[in-house]
Chains A and B, each alone.
Chain A
Amino acid sequence: MRYLPHCDQGIRSMLDTIGVEKINDLFSGIPENCRLPRDLELPAPLAEADLQRHFQALAAESSVDGSWSRFLGGGYYDHHIPAVIDHLISRSEFYTAYTPYQPEISQGTLQAVFEFQTLICQLTGMEISNASLYDGASACAEAVLMALRCSRKRSKVMLSRGLQPRYREVVMTYVRYLDVELIEVPLAADGRTDEDAVKQLLDEDVAALVVGYPNYLGVVEEIESLSRLAHASGARMVVAAAEPLAMALYRSPGEQGADIVVGEGQSFGLPLSYGGPGVGFIAVRQKDMRSLPGRLVGETVDKDGERGFVLTLSTREQHIRREKATSNICSNQGICAVMVSIYLSLLGKNGLPQLARDNYSRTTYLREQIAALPGYSLPFTTSVFNEFVISCPRPATEVLKRLEEDKILAGIDLINDYPEIKNGLLICVTEQNDRAQLDRFVDALKGAAA
């Protein structure tokens, strides 16, 4: 086997050094009644060439080739990925390293993650970011736990109905056996979180108000006024950004008073990869630094006074504080955070806002065309970023099916998550959708109306 470097002669000499007859003697610590008395029943080994063929065949069984147009968003976004990223993260010093426990030979990872933390702070307008969490939904759950920790005696958390439905479900899973009450805040008619409802539901027992920015229906929330309401009753304002590119265009959650900003970084240079790995981020205020979950990289100096980076404030974490840790997280999304850093560095101060603007322009173009189609309408006319909802003239499932025939994945059916929106379809547009695709989409929708 090509990954196993041993030869018979070497094994013999190792066994002699150990002082046992055969390899099996080394397993004497495993009682007989714990042994598997047969061979594993698994497929026979494949040589590299055969393996590659097998995987190519599996990968071909999907809708990914140039002939399809896709308008799928909902928390994972199809943005173009610069070639530089894969090239750089294929340097195995990055991707075959472990967590940087030995900082003197891990400065590459440590500095790259320190830069990630800084970039996330700059984009979100916050003060401190950690080194990453698993994904957007689990980051949102960690934010909720953190808000509960910070406010000690409070036990309620308000989740906007506009928050990504999977984020809401994951929060529910995380607090399942903790003494926490989750309260859903309805949306107003314009698709934003209902401020009157927020006012009514907030009380002294609420630890956090959580909203999406933009929310799942693509609508840009009024974070500033929501923050004011939350703060007035002593709750923390948690903002979840499933499409963080929007923050390059719209006011940052930090400048609008958010206390915790979480989100999904997949938009920034990570492949869709059927939903993972992505990369969760969490950014907070200085005052909550010691309640942060996960790893943190900090700047320091070495013995000669040279700048260097280390994992720091580890006493928050499970390997030291055990059952009193701020989270059980250990592995994070290291290499994915580096991918985000590379992406943000490439686009930078000039490219990222322009990309966001272009996404907005493309989305507006499509949105207006669809709104003008007979039978289709926009349930919300409020500002959006690169996603929006339409109401179809017939059930969205039928429209989706019809458009599949034209090799168009038209969007996400809202029937299960938002049955209150009549025939609701969530459509996403990115720079991957050129005008020809948009026009073809509009034509196909027209054809699917009847």
Chain B
Amino acid sequence: MDFPEELKYTEDHEWVLSEGDLVSIGISDFAQDQLGDVVFVELPEVGDKVEISKAFGVVESVKAVSDIYAPLAGEVVEVNSDLPDSPESINTSPYEDGWMIRIKPDDMAELDGLMDASAYQAFIEQE
């Protein structure tokens, strides 16, 4: 299982990549493995506001549903429009093709509360 160093992670298994004043969000390799083959993704629309720790989307496999929680508050500026047609990207490429949304965070400092790769790895081993 792969946990890129440049990302931050949440306890709900989302990852965050900071890119200037924007961040991208997706779910971790661990999360996609737990879910199994992803068959459906529901994402917000550009312009929607997301709130920290509130669900902004849903990802479904054949037998499971999981809410996706916003790691930080902000406004959605871009949505991965390829995902609805190829939800399998979340399995095959969780950190690249499987990215979900890009937001403009209200407060970049909220990033500091998240785990780095090694802390996240320790966290999931504990679970």
Contacts and interface: CB of A to CB of B under 8 A. Distances in A.
A-B interaction = yes
Interface of A: 290, 314-315, 320-321, 324
Given A314-B63, A315-B61, 13 more contacts: A290-B40, A314-B62, A315-B40, A315-B60, A315-B62, A315-B63, A315-B64, A315-B65, A320-B63, A320-B64, A320-B65, A321-B65, A324-B65
Interface string B35-76: 000001000000000000000000011111100000000000
Contacts of A320: 63-65
Contacts of B63: 314-315, 320
The 7 closest A-B pairs by CB, nearest first: A315-B60, A315-B65, A321-B65, A320-B65, A320-B63, A320-B64, A314-B63
A324 B58 CA distance: 12
A315 B63 CA distance: 6
B39 to A, nearest CB: 8
Interface residues of B, number: 7
Contacts of B61: 315
Contacts of B64: 315, 320
Nearest to B62: A314
A315 B61 CA distance: 8
B125 to A, nearest CB: 27
Contacts of B40: 290, 315
B94 to A, nearest CB: 20
A290 B65 CA distance: 13
Contacts of A290: 40
Nearest to B67: A324
A312 to B, nearest CB: 8
Contacts of B65: 315, 320-321, 324
B38 to A, nearest CB: 11
A10 B77 CA distance: 71
15 contacts: A290-B40, A314-B62, A314-B63, A315-B40, A315-B60, A315-B61, A315-B62, A315-B63, A315-B64, A315-B65, A320-B63, A320-B64, A320-B65, A321-B65, A324-B65
Interface hub of B60, B61, B64 (most chain A Cβ within 10 A): B60
A324 B64 CA distance: 13
